[in-house]
Amino acid sequence: MNCQICQQESEKYREEKLSGDLKIQVEAHLQQCAECAESYRIHSTADSIINQERAILPANDLTERIMDRIEKLEDTGNKNSKPFLRVLQPVLIITSMAAAIFIGVLIGNIYKPTGTVISRPVELSLIDDATIESVDILSNE
């Protein structure tokens, strides 16, 4: 038996679902091949841990205790919130946003570029763009 077949059949072997002849072949291969034996040991350990975890059951009233605690937290949260705070919070947010925008505009207007201002010739400002011929017309000639 080769390692590939042994790996394929190892799950059935762990679950004891193999026929007699194939079971004997897998056992013989596991005794000869250290890699397959190590893989079998790891999988068997994982299976036993999973089976132990399945056996652990939560307390019967766990769901009820959690739901009661959530309800208590919701009730105390509603009692502590005062009506004027529910109105004041959006007002404060809007006011702070307006102040931030206003300060941003002020800071933006403070900036004045330093250095020399490039002067343009008067001729450029007098050019009438409407009378300039299209580049396509000139390229066809």
pLDDT at position 39 is: 87
Domain of 27?
A: 3-55
Q: How confident is the model at residue 103 (pLDDT cuts 50, 70, 90)?
A: very high
Residue 114 has pLDDT above 90, yes or no: no
Residue 27 maps to a domain: yes
**Dihedral sign computed on CA atoms, order 25, 30, 34, 37:** positive
Among 36-40, 98-102, 122-126, which is the least confidently predicted range? 122-126
Residue 30 maps to a domain: yes
Q: Which is higher by pLDDT, 97 or 126? A: 97
Q: How confident is the model at residue 101 (pLDDT cuts 50, 70, 90)?
A: very high
Secondary structure, 3-state, the chain: CCHHHHHHHHHHHHCCCCCHHHHHHHHHHHHHCHHHHHHHHHHHHHHHHHHHHHHCCCCCCHHHHHHHHHHHHHHHHHHHCCHHHHHHHHHHHHHHHHHHHHHHHHHHHHCCCCCCCCCCCHHHHHCCHHHCCCHHHHHHC
Residue 37 maps to a domain: yes
Residue 102 has pLDDT above 90, yes or no: yes
Residue 108 maps to a domain: no
Residue 32 maps to a domain: yes
pLDDT at position 92 is: 92
pLDDT (tens digit, 9 = 90+) per residue, 73-89? 887 765 556 677 777 88
**Contact between 33 and 3 (Cβ < 8 Å):** yes
Mean pLDDT for 88-111 is 90
Residue 26 maps to a domain: yes
Q: How many domains does the chain have?
A: 1
CA distances from 41 to 11, 15, 24, 29 (A): 11, 13, 17, 14
Average pLDDT, the chain: 79
Residue 89 maps to a domain: no
Q: Report the percentage of the chain scoring pLDDT > 90.
A: 9
Residue 76 maps to a domain: no
